[in-house]
Structures are given as C-alpha cells and as structure tokens.
Chains A and B, each alone.
Chain A
C-alpha cells in the first residue's frame, strides 16, 4: 500500500495545480476532440461517423453555456447551497434524495440543520428539529415517513417524526458492542449503518434490531463508505483501494481493485448504466470505472470556483441520473449532468 500510494504522488501534486493553470488546461481540452456522449463511451477510442461529428458540433454550438468538467462527459448543472451571505452552510456532509417528493436534503453539520431543495436547486426549507440536532452527519427517510439522522454529537441514530414533532435519539449496539454510526442508507425496510468503530455495515430493522452484518475480513480499516445498488451492497475499502461487493445475504460476490488512478478513495456511487464512480478526496477528483472494474477516466479538480472541489466528502446519483457531489470545504453540493 505504501508503494502504491507513493507511486501516485505526482498525480496528487499535479491535481493541486493552480486554478489558473486549470483554466488553461480546460481550454486545451475544450479545443481537443469531441466529448464522449455515453457513460460507456467515455474514455474509449473508436472511429466516429461524420454525421455524428456534425451532430456533436451542432450541439456544441447551439447548446447552453456550460462549464466543462475536464475531458469528461459531465457538465456542471447547478449547486445546492444557501445563497444568503453569512448564513451559508458549514461543512455539509451528506445528501439524501427523496424521489417521491423530488427533493434534495442536504445535511449541514456545522449549523446543525437540514436544508431541502427542489429538483431545480431552489431552497425550500431549513429544518433543525427545534434546534435539537447535534452535529448531524447523514440522513434517510423510511417508508413510514420517519426521518433518520446520524448525529455525531450524540453518537446516535435519531428518528424524527414530523407529524408528532417527536425527536428520539437512540444509540446502536451489535452483539452488545456500542456502534459509532457514520454513513446511512435505507433499502427495503432496513436501515444500513456504517459503524466507524469496526468499519462494518450493519443492517437494522426499523425497531433498531440488528439483522445482518457486512464485514470485510481482509480490510485493514474496514469500510469508509457504501451504497446499495442493484440489490447488492457496494462497500469501499479506503487504504486497501478496493471495492467489496456483497449480495444482500452478506456473502462477498466480488472484489475490485481500484489501482493507481485513486490515491485516497473516500466515497463511491454506481451510475445508472453500472459504471462505478470513486471520489478521491486527496486528488479532488472522481475516477470512473466500467462494470468490470476497468479504469476509464477521471474528472474534476481542486479549487473553489464552480465545478471545483475543495474537500469533497460524498458522491451519489439522484434518480434522474445526475451526479451529486457534497463538498464540505466549499459548503455546497455540486450537481453534474450528462
């Protein structure tokens, strides 16, 4: 692992080049060959029919103004943030998307609140559970309408019943051991909690009875993030630089080595077409792998401007195929679409 990381240092240093240089680089890329148009096409070299070139050129000329994300097919679309000066978010840590309501919920850990946005990125409400939240970190909504919030400050999984205005912090245990909840997902009536103490993912029913543990036997630190996609649980091993894919019954189905393209894998997401997106917190970019785990391309860079990352902390896809990146350093969620 040591050698692995050392070999990637030059990439890290390069990724920290100045935003000014990055702009020049971006200009160079924009003047280069046409951008790939599908998730599968990105990063692949093949012959292109003349009519396709013409179509791409027309789209390029007639399309709306946009910010390119390097040589990737991803274009900056909008940012979820609090525009009121002096009331900006402080260290937002996660995003939850309610498909039914078509709303985004951003957990603003530094100001102990949750902000909701509509699908167009307009701020709707600011919720702080009667000022009772203590360093919220992640959240989901269960089918029964309860909101579940990981509160780091209480080391609790807290349920919020909006109708009854009831807030109930609860500590979690598995085999008698206290859990330190970190990341949270909801799937098929179960709450999936990443325990920072063990690095394992533990599934709880809504009564908070533990049902199953997803553990990595050969990971040094356990997992740092996970997603549930296609009835499989995808977990990210940070120092090991690999993804472990579990069947929902807990058996390991697959392991994918991420290799040199990533230095400090921090979050993962699986795209609609099965491509795997890895957020690299150190390089401030996203590395994309195909379904077989073959590296395809990377995009995004260090910076503070639109479309740039400072301290990205989580990535996830919304139900409309857009890639959402929570950046706690820049206090916003950047949304990219193809």
Chain B
C-alpha cells in the first residue's frame, strides 16, 4: 500500500514540475479563457496547446511575456519570410517586425490569421484615407484592398501588385477606354495622373482638383517643343524663383522633374501631388528613410518629410526649412534655455561654426539615446571637451 501511495505521489509531483507544452497549456488555460483562442483558423502552436513556444510563463522582457521580440519570434518558425519581405518597398509594420498589427497570433476568422474584414484591418492605420466619395472604385468599396496592393512588400510604390497602368488594364480593357479618351494614344498610360483609384466626387473617378490648363486647353502645355520643367516654371513664377537656391530638386528626371511629384492633369488637392508626400520622397530617397528606420533611436512622429524639409529648394543644408536651431525650435521651444548653450555666440571649435541642435543630435537616427551622436555618459562630450 505504501509503495502504491509513493508511486502516485511521485507521478503527481512529476506531472506538476514536468516542463512541456501539453502541461503548460493545461495550466495556462486554467486561467485564460479557451474561447479566446478558438476560431475558424487557429495558429498551429495554439491548436497544439504549446503556449510556451511563444510565451514564458514566469517572466519576460517583452509584452505578453513573449520569449523574444515580436517579429523575431514569428520568424523563428516562419524563417523563409525575412528574405522575401526584405525586397523593394516594405510595408511599415513588416519593416518594424510588428506582425500582429495585421495577424492575430492565436486564432482568426480569416485566412492567414488575418481579420476576415481585411479592409477594416487596413483602415485602422490608414485612417486618413478618405472614405466618403460620390463615386467609389468597386474593389475599394468592397474592401478588396489586396486586389491591388500587396500586404508585405512590393517592387512597386504604394505596395501595388504591378505597375499602376498594368494593374488598371488587367480589368479595364484598352478598347473600352477609347470611348472616354478621345485622341488618347493607342496604349493608355499614366492612369493615376488623372484618376483616383479609390474614389472621387467626379464621374470616371477623375481626381477632384483639375490643373487649369488641363481643364481649359491641353495645348497650353502639349505641343510645345520640350516638356521640361521650364514648361511648368513659365507659369509657376514663385517656384521658378525657388529654383535659384543652392540646393533644389530641379533635375531632368525623365524629362521634367516637376512631374516626379506633381500630376500635370489632376490631383486630390491643389498641390496636385501624385501621392502622399512621404511616399513621393521615398521613391528617390529610399536610403535615407531606411537609415531612419534601421536606427535604434530617432526623432519620433516623423510622418511627413515636409515638416522639416523644403520640397522644392533651399539655401540650407539638407534643404531644411531653417538652420539647425530654427527647425527644431518650432516645437522644442525651451530646450536651448536649459541644455548645452547653442546659437551664434557658441562656436564649435572643430568647425568654427555656431553650435546648433544637430551638433549633438541627428534626428534621422543614431544608435544612442535621444538620437545623440555618441554616448551621453561621456563619449559625446569628449568629442569637443577633450580634457574631460
């Protein structure tokens, strides 16, 4: 009898302390409601009740008691994905390893553990995308974002599945387009210079704001000998004067640098931009944006390059909207009063120039806290104060 009791107690103790997924799930689900992890599609570790594949039951450095940082954790099993997602334009959450922005790590009603109402998922972040249009493109109104866009990465700007024109023509047959495009070249091109692929208040999804020459007389621009930026600058005198600065975006750029960012025909606002400013900047300055993204410490909330940089031209470094103090002081009003002295009376002896915010900080990102150029403990200071 004593032997039987000893055996039973030993088995119980063994079961209690034995590490193992099955045992872990039993303990986890004692508290965590099993229904939260049940749906049409269930993540394999959840289905097998192997909670400890992702979570540490005792203590962890990461939210949700995750063993390692989110993206890295996912890629520890989905190890083919990093190489696939590393090419071309990369969706922000993917680049930051935030898989759970779109995917539910436990269970979901949609395939690939994505919310079945995909569009609602997208619009959580893309909340500035106008939803109210008089005329709406069918795929957009049906919530079919992935009919045109790839969710992870793409070789095309805007994470498009293919070149914009190709994508349009995959549904809209060229022959059918001739009716609405008199005198248009045989092969329609540049659809998005006139049409908004989501919706518009004009028939035919023509963008809401028309370029006056496009509205009145095409020959104002077309038919001229050359279609360089000069055609635009002939009317836009203010921009023409901006081009007489040290640094400008005046380049040939496939014939006309203006058209790299602006549509000559129609736009969603009076600037006639071809897309969100940040997206336009990335199309050429991918390396700058990637450098920012890869940095450990960087200026937060930089959603719009135009907050700090002039889009056309500037007489300052990096085409900033002011010098290394003016640009920062628009938000950081009081920093100069209590931090290291800066300004015209404080000279950086290394260069003979006035010390500014960017003497110590690089808002585009560094590996040091407060996006400093070196360690604030000592490294930064001894760059100038060598005897310290």
Contact = CB atoms under 8 A, between A and B. Distances in A.
A16 B291 contact: yes
Interface string B146-163: 000000000100000000
Given A9-B290, A83-B352, A135 B383 contact: no
A208 interface: no
Given A85-B347, A198-B252, A221-B252, A8 B244 contact: no
What does DSSP make chain A's interface, helix, strand, loop or mixed? loop
Contacts of A225: none
B32 interface: no
Contact of B228 (A13, A198, A332): A198
Contact of B351 (A110, A282, A331): A331
A135 B362 CA distance: 27
B290 A88 contact: no
A121 interface: no
A222 B352 contact: no
B230 A197 contact: yes
A177 B244 contact: no
Contact of B251 (A12, A21, A199, A304): A199
Contacts of A330: 350-351, 353
A158 B166 CA distance: 49
A326 B287 CA distance: 23
Nearest to B373: A18
Nearest to A308: B350
Contacts of A86: 344, 347
Interface stretch (A46-54, A147-155, A228-236): A147-155
Leading 6 A-B pairs by shortest Cβ distance: A88-B352, A222-B252, A18-B374, A20-B379, A221-B251, A199-B252
Contact of B245 (A13, A152, A311): A152
Interface in A73-87: 81-83, 85-86
A84 B226 CA distance: 49
A12 B291 contact: yes
A311 B250 contact: no
A259 to B, nearest CB: 15
Interface string A99-140: 000000000011000000000000000000000000101000
10 contacts: A12-B287, A16-B362, A19-B383, A20-B375, A20-B379, A198-B252, A199-B252, A220-B253, A311-B317, A332-B351
A229 B366 CA distance: 39
A222 B256 CA distance: 11
A303 to B, nearest CB: 8
B141 interface: no
A18 B316 CA distance: 24
Contacts of B362: 16
B287 A331 contact: no
B383 A196 contact: no
B383 A88 contact: no
B229 interface: yes
Contacts of A85: 347, 352
A263 interface: yes
A77 B87 CA distance: 43
Given A197-B252, A198-B228, A88 B246 contact: no
Given A91-B246, A264-B287, A304-B351, 18 more contacts: A2-B89, A6-B87, A6-B88, A6-B287, A20-B374, A20-B379, A20-B380, A21-B374, A83-B352, A85-B352, A110-B315, A155-B243, A197-B252, A198-B228, A219-B252, A221-B252, A304-B383, A306-B350
Interface string B85-102: 001110000000000000
B299 to A, nearest CB: 15
Contact of B250 (A19, A90, A197, A331): A197
Interface string B293-331: 011000000000000000000011110000000000000
Interface of B: 87-89, 155, 226, 228-230, 243-246, 248, 250-254, 257, 284, 286-288, 290-291, 294-295, 315-318, 344, 347-348, 350-353, 359, 362, 366-368, 373-375, 379-380, 382-383
Given A2-B155, A304-B350, A328 B317 contact: yes
Contacts of A137: 246
Contacts of A263: 287
Nearest to B323: A90
A331 B352 contact: yes
Given A9-B290, A82-B352, A220-B254, A135 B245 contact: yes
Contact of A5 (B246, B287, B315, B368): B287
Contacts of B318: 311
Nearest to A8: B287
Contact of B291 (A13, A221, A310): A13
Contacts of A221: 251-253, 257
Nearest to A135: B246
Contacts of B243: 155, 180, 196
A12 B286 CA distance: 12
Contacts of A8: 287
Interface string A14-26: 0011111100000
A16 B368 CA distance: 12
Contact of A135 (B229, B253, B287, B315): B315
A36 interface: no
A34 B81 CA distance: 44
Contacts of A43: none
Contacts of A329: 317
Contacts of B366: 16, 18
Given A88-B353, A177-B230, A152 B317 contact: no
A299 B211 CA distance: 48
Interface in A182-228: 196-200, 219-222
